Structure 1
Amino acid sequence: MASEQHPLWAEIQQGEGKALERQRLLQSYDEQIAWETELNSLDLAPLQQAFAQRGKPLDLARMKSLKLIREEQGKDHPTHGLMILLGLYEQVEIKCSRFKGTSMAVFLDKKEYQGDLFSQLAQTEAFIKNHLHLKAEILGLQRTESYEIPIPAIREALINAVVHRDYSNAGRDIKVGIYDDVLNIVSPGGLPHGLTLNEVLKGRSEIRNKVIARVFKELGYIEQWGSGMSRIHELCQEADNPAPAFSESGDFIDIEFHRTEVVESGVMGGSVGGAIGGEVVVQSELTERQQAVLQLIIENPRKSHREIAEALNINASAVQKHLDKLKEAGAIERIGGTRGYWKVKV
């Protein structure tokens, strides 16, 4: 008796069949006409605005050359590429989550972004920034702040996911997960045309979405073909961050950034800000132990290292470590020497 085929496997086979047919026609999915949509029913403003911001016109001729529009039997039609860029398909979505700890068991924050691809990228970047730590560094007399993972590397990874993911199947989207230890970006669609991950990391490129890739290159989101993953690696290296991990699992591509400011168990939420001229100069999260040290100083700004150590039953070197963290965060400042006191700035 013949076994019944699993519906998911049937869907995968159907998708593979369509992909082979597009390959035979030398067309990508996004170059094909979206027959069910009338061109004059579309609001092109988001795309026109994106081009205008780069000082580039977007007239009918340009849209045709980019294959956003194709003419068939004397009539202009939108392509899937135009529909995707405008965010008009259900699968054109980025789901962002901040999880508690290192598993997906508990959500701390969750957002789902639809709309045109450009606004999705901007909203996703803002979500990520909101859940990463800032680290401060003193360069000469200037205090500089940067995110624990370089934002240009994250931006490159998001663009890479948006440009190269598989849009041909509904019900699949890009997922961004932020954990205590990693930032994870997963996009649907394995590597195209038998390309291996090792080849991609060496700079070889096969473009799955030709229309979207052309538009993103035209707008300056892509510098050169095949540079995305190596660029991500270089940006992390320049920031002295751990190398990101790239992997292909099933029909998904996964990029994992390691967080350099790993959240310790029992983190206290909330912002700690020191003010200069009314401006918040740093944002951070403190552990329970650092909160306890801060509370002791608030109660008695002249408390010595030894007194803090005795009160918390920890050694002097641990006290110094926590004080350094509080100073770095802009929460306290030492006024005077051994006979001085702590100025609390929060």
Structure 2
Amino acid sequence: LKTLSKLRLYEETNGEKYPTYALILLTDDPQRYRLFPYAKVECARFKGTKPGNFIDQKTIDINIGQQAELALQFILRHISQGMTGYDGVYRNDRWEYPIDALREVVRNAIVHRDYALSGKDIKIAVFDDKVEITSPGKLMPSVDFSLMEAGQSEIRNKLIAATFKKLGIIEQWGSGLKIISDDLKNYPEIELKWSEPGIAFRVTFKKKNYIPESAEKTREKMSEKMSEKMSEKILWSIKDNPKISAKELVYIVNRSSRTIERTIAKLKKEGRIKRIGPDKG
């Protein structure tokens, strides 16, 4: 109670203690679902560059303290990570979007959204050419998103922001926009745009040189690369143990038996392996 009191997450009236709306939002108490049914994040991965064809969807409606991390996990599941080289024996990997900037925008959406707006939730949309984060409520009047290095800070939900800072979810006041700006410097191929559709605030991370035809090819290449890695793992396993069974390969490669069977058939057809002796299964 001492911590809750310090963060002003409950109020006392006539000797009775009552939770503030901020505390209700930070819990999974049934009151939160009744009072704030739209305090959630709707995530979607669309095929192409416009809303319409869903590839994946997720509703994140747990307490707001955990929403940012789960939302970021959804984004990471639907963007690619490539290797840029090696630092000694260690791989240097790079995501196709600036992750620190994305994380900061998602956190800000949850901390600074307008929870008084009924029927409005946070929306995260991943397209072939961009990632969009839309939050209910317009940008606070004194914040200029075009001056990201100025250390600006105006807080809509002061109790939520203070609790997030105490929990280590957000950094010190005024540092968020600078984190976004600094991370974007490492991604000259990504453009950040912001807009205010209706009574919402939207941040878009957009690929500057996106070519529509290349998206499908990229997915095909990624699929081929994963397939080749799996083939190599199977080949090495067979080389290490020529008597290995398909069932054992399922466990080693962590793929279904049908996938293993298809891959083995493909390797046989290509002449990369051949059976000696009876089929063990």
The TM-score with structure 2 as length reference comes to 0.71
SS of the residue corresponding to residue 85 of structure 2 reads: strand
Shift of the 128–260 alpha-carbon distance from structure 1 to 2, 3 Å rule, reads farther
Unaligned runs of 5+ in 1: 1-59, 281-294, 302-346
Q: Does 1:114 align with 2:61?
A: yes
Alignment match, 1:234: 182
Alignment match, 2:83: 136
**Superposition RMSD in Å:** 2.8
Query: Is the 8 Å Cα contact of residues 180 and 259 (structure 1) preserved in structure 2?
Result: no
Q: Does 1:195 align with 2:115?
A: no
Q: Does 1:78 align with 2:19?
A: yes
**1 CA distance for matches of 2:115 and 2:107?**
14
Letter in 1 for 2:157: N
The equivalent position to 1:210 in structure 2, one of 158, 163, 169, is 158
Which deviations, in whole Å up to 9, do the C-alpha atoms of 1:237-279 show, x marking residues without a partner? Answer: 1344424222333321111112489562544556433267989
Q: Does 1:250 align with 2:193?
A: no
Which deviations, in whole Å up to 9, do the C-alpha atoms of 1:49-90 show, x marking residues without a partner? Answer: xxxxxxxxxxx0110111111111111000000111225221
**2 CA distance for matches of 1:217 and 1:208?**
14
**2 CA distance for matches of 1:143 and 1:82?**
43
**1 CA distance for matches of 2:206 and 2:82?**
15
Matches of residues 136-155 of structure 1 in structure 2 within 5 Å? 136-141=83-88, 142-155=90-103
Count how many residue pairs are aligned between Structure 1 and Structure 2.
225
SS of the residue corresponding to residue 238 of structure 1 reads: coil
The equivalent position to 2:49 in structure 1, one of 102, 124, 136, is 102
Asked which structure has the greater CA Rg, the reply is 1
Unaligned runs of 5+ in 2: 238-251, 254-265, 273-281
SS of the residue corresponding to residue 117 of structure 2 reads: coil
**1 CA distance for matches of 2:207 and 2:58?**
21
How big is the shift at 1:199? 7.4
**1 CA distance for matches of 2:84 and 2:206?**
20
The equivalent position to 2:40 in structure 1, one of 93, 105, 109, is 93
Q: Return 116-125 or 257-266, whichever deviates more.
A: 257-266
Query: Is the 8 Å Cα contact of residues 113 and 124 (structure 1) preserved in structure 2?
Result: yes
Letter in 1 for 2:125: G
The percentage of aligned residue pairs carrying the same residue is: 33
How big is the shift at 1:181? 0.3
Query: Is the 8 Å Cα contact of residues 100 and 179 (structure 2) preserved in structure 1?
Result: no
Which deviations, in whole Å up to 9, do the C-alpha atoms of 1:2-46 show, x marking residues without a partner? Answer: xxxxxxxxxxxxxxxxxxxxxxxxxxxxxxxxxxxxxxxxxxxxx
Shift of the 103–64 alpha-carbon distance from structure 1 to 2, 3 Å rule, reads same
